[in-house]
Amino acid sequence: GTMKRFGVKQIIPLCGILFSLTFIYVGLTKLGFWESQGPLPGFFPVIMSTVFFFVSILALLQSFKEKSWNFPKEDLLIIVAVAVAILAHFVIGLVASMLLFVALWLRFVEKTPWLTIVKILVIIAAIVLGVFQFWLKVQFPLGILGDMIVGLL
C-alpha cells in the first residue's frame, strides 16, 4: 500500500488533540483537579478533555484508513458555526456564545420551534450556571463585553 496523503482529514483530529491537551494542562496546572474535600474547578474540564483526546486519537488513526474523502457542504456549516462561536466567546463570553450557538443551530439547522429552544436553553443555562459556576466555582470567560460590564459594577 502507498502512504496516504496528509490533509484536512488529519488536521481536524490533530486540532482536537492540541485543544484537549491544552485544556488538560490548564485544568491540572491552573484550576486544580482534586483535593481531600472533593473535585476542584479543573475536574470536569480534565475528564472531558481526556475523553476528547482519546476520541481525537482514534479519529486521526481512522482518517488514514479511509479510501476517499468527499466533503459535503453541510459539514462546512458545522466548521463555520463552531469557528464563529469560538470567536464570539471573546466578545460575549463562553456561556453566552454557546447558548447562542445552540439556539441558532436548533432553529436554522434542526428547524426546532422557538418555544422548545427557549425551554432547552433554560435547562442548559441552569445546569451550566448551577453546577459549574456556583457549585464547582468554574470561572467562565466573560468576553470583552462581560469584562466591561463587570468593570462598571
pLDDT per position as a tens digit, 46-74: 888 888 899 889 888 888 886 665 667 77
Worst-scoring range by mean pLDDT, 32-36, 103-107, 139-143?
139-143
pLDDT, mean over the chain: 84
> Which residue carries 428547524 as its cell?
111
pLDDT, residue 70, reads: 67
Rounded percentage of the chain residues whose pLDDT exceeds 70: 93
What would the mean pLDDT of 128-142 be, rounded to a whole number? 83
Q: Which three cell numbers stand for residue 81?
A: 458555526
Name the 3-class secondary structure at 62.
helix
Half-sphere exposure of 26 (CA within 13 A, CB side): 13
| CA dist., res. 20 & res. 69, Å (int) | 25
| CA dist., res. 17 & res. 60, Å (int) | 9
Worst-scoring range by mean pLDDT, 20-24, 37-41, 76-80?
76-80
Q: Which three cell numbers stand for residue 36?
A: 481531600
Please state the pTM of the whole predicted model.
0.56
What would the mean pLDDT of 28-41 be, rounded to a whole number? 87
| CA dist., res. 3 & res. 133, Å (int) | 48
Quote the crossing angle between the two packed helices 143-152 and 73-92, to the nearest 10°: 20
| CA dist., res. 99 & res. 24, Å (int) | 24
Alpha carbon 10 to chain centroid distance? 19
Q: Give strand ranges (E) for 37-87.
A: 38-39
